Chains A and B, each alone.
Chain A
């Protein structure tokens, strides 16, 4: 449903914005020749036939060729995909593994100085745009201290069709700054969410009862309270992973990281419509898959849902 809607938008974009023939041929092509190409491309077919063809092609991973690069869009995307996925994956991990403990800590020790510092930092983190964080990082670690490279992926190694930066030292070095930049915003979001949920759960009766039973504090906090905060956290984190890929556009353009986001931005600048359409469909696919995974995860985390479904 969502996929079809997006495919439809992408198709309309493809079909009605600009004249594809003019983009493909030179100035001196005669009108007859233009008509010929028009027929070959099937642009005279009825709207729904064209849309059907577009969807069928899209399912096969065919989006035509880029106006600028003169290469199939699917090749371009496949080339850029590993870079974006590596970046998004690592920043997602950073956000989770730092954000959740920080959230738990600030919820359990609300009065401590450290959690006040965390909360202030998180407020700044929300107000600081991603690209500014990136620029500040470049200024401090790249220009002043010269510890880390400021652009690109470093050396990459080809493993099959997947080009990875994880096998070389320069690749890892190049990954640090973009990944942290991308992670910071999500991290503050996750931290605030975990804190809010944790505080709420700690107020409930079953926690009071667990304390009254004389269970050790550790067990109350981590086995009872934490488990019950996980459901909303998983939902938001899952959805956030999608927005990490979207925010990667910004990070990639700050650090000139050769991923899909950079490709998309360049496509917008140069009005390269096939690339824009393909990127859109791809992102929509990501979002749908992520939503599906989140829904499936619910069943593992929350046993009540399993029982409900079994009863039906």
Chain B
């Protein structure tokens, strides 16, 4: 254990981390958002989904620094139903983060699996998978996600759709992002395939699945994790966009995007805080995750594309 820490402290990664204030700041911001939102039920000042604790008399209060109207109980003000904005943001970013991570995991597994098969299998399989990848790549991810969500909406009855909305979103965003993983993994698999250790394994009769899983996979995972980090920011933004367009999560389990959409209706009556604060939270989250991803890529410098 001690040895691991000593090695980590000595590594290039840690060195470049300490050298760059921007990276440190974004790491701190990410850490704060992630920890507070995962611990939302314990750290949030109010429970916005507990109807008992909401009082319509508290509706549409501005943030604390409006001396005459602000209420010290609600740091960032309240929305039209008297829910505390800060608490809804914490719960909202929790949902956004969960969906973002789940969909990244989903496209990572799908993409890596298809990439391995494509790179290791015969030319026919390879051509087939890459053809699909090409076709999908010519359409923007958001359009594909929108489409899948639209189809799910038309197959499922309305009340059922609201219940499974989270899974539909994870599936939609996950499907729309697998191509990049598959391409990267395919490339490095082809390189690894011709190396001696793989040939040796083939000669002694190891099954192809075992070769892919035990021998090739560990050697192609480096770049994949970096893509995953960058993809996380994209997935969070995509989820927010879908929810903003009203095809994502229902207002009963709001993510940051849903909060922004709901608040948008009050923009014209001057109640800007309902929509702007969730917006700021979203930007901070996306920006810091983006910066961390960029830094990881630059530091580890794996050959991406």
Contact = CB atoms under 8 A, between A and B. Distances in A.
B149 A268 contact: yes
A143 B290 contact: no
Nearest to B138: A287
Contact of B138 (A2, A150, A273): A2
Given A131-B241, A131-B244, A132-B282, A271 B153 contact: yes
19 contacts: A2-B138, A18-B155, A127-B283, A127-B290, A129-B283, A130-B241, A132-B279, A135-B276, A139-B267, A139-B272, A143-B270, A247-B140, A268-B150, A271-B150, A271-B154, A273-B154, A276-B147, A287-B139, A291-B138
A135 B278 CA distance: 12
A233 to B, nearest CB: 17
Contacts of A60: none
B251 to A, nearest CB: 14
A129 B240 CA distance: 8
Contact of B290 (A126, A265, A284): A126
Nearest to A5: B135
A265 B245 contact: yes
Given A250-B241, A268-B247, A283-B143, A135 B279 contact: yes
Interface string A265-279: 101110101001000
B287 A276 contact: no
Interface of B: 135, 138-140, 142-143, 146-147, 149-151, 153-155, 233, 237, 240-241, 244-247, 260, 264, 267-268, 270, 272, 275-276, 279, 282-283, 286-287, 290-291
Interface in A118-161: 123-124, 126-132, 135-136, 138-139, 143, 150
A32 interface: no
A17 B151 contact: yes
A124 B143 CA distance: 23
B285 to A, nearest CB: 9
Contact of B260 (A123, A135, A138, A246): A135
Interface SS of chain A: helix
Nearest to A284: B139
Contact of A17 (B143, B155, B264): B155
A136 B146 CA distance: 24
A131 B283 CA distance: 12
Contact of A143 (B237, B241, B267): B267
A130 B237 CA distance: 9
B140 A132 contact: no
A239 interface: yes
B284 to A, nearest CB: 9
A123 B267 contact: no
Nearest to B264: A135
B144 to A, nearest CB: 10
A32 to B, nearest CB: 27
Contacts of A143: 267-268, 270, 272
A2 B137 CA distance: 12
Given A17-B151, A271-B150, 4 more contacts: A129-B286, A135-B275, A283-B139, A284-B139
Nearest to A243: B140
Contacts of A247: 140, 142
Tell which of A131, A254, A269 has the most Cβ of chain B within 10 Å: A131
A139 B263 CA distance: 12
Nearest to A150: B268
Given A123-B287, A268-B146, A18 B279 contact: no
B249 to A, nearest CB: 14
Interface centre among B154, B270, B282, by most chain A C-beta atoms within 10 angstroms, is B154
A93 interface: no
A242 B140 contact: yes
A5 B146 CA distance: 18
Nearest to B131: A1
A253 interface: yes
Nearest to B155: A17
Contact of A132 (B151, B267, B272, B283): B283
A215 interface: no
A249 B139 contact: no
B286 A127 contact: yes
Contacts of A135: 260, 264, 267, 275-276, 279
Contact of A2 (B135, B247, B276, B282): B135
B287 A127 contact: yes
B247 A246 contact: no
Query: 6 tightest A-B contacts by CB?
Result: A268-B150, A127-B287, A243-B140, A271-B154, A246-B140, A127-B286
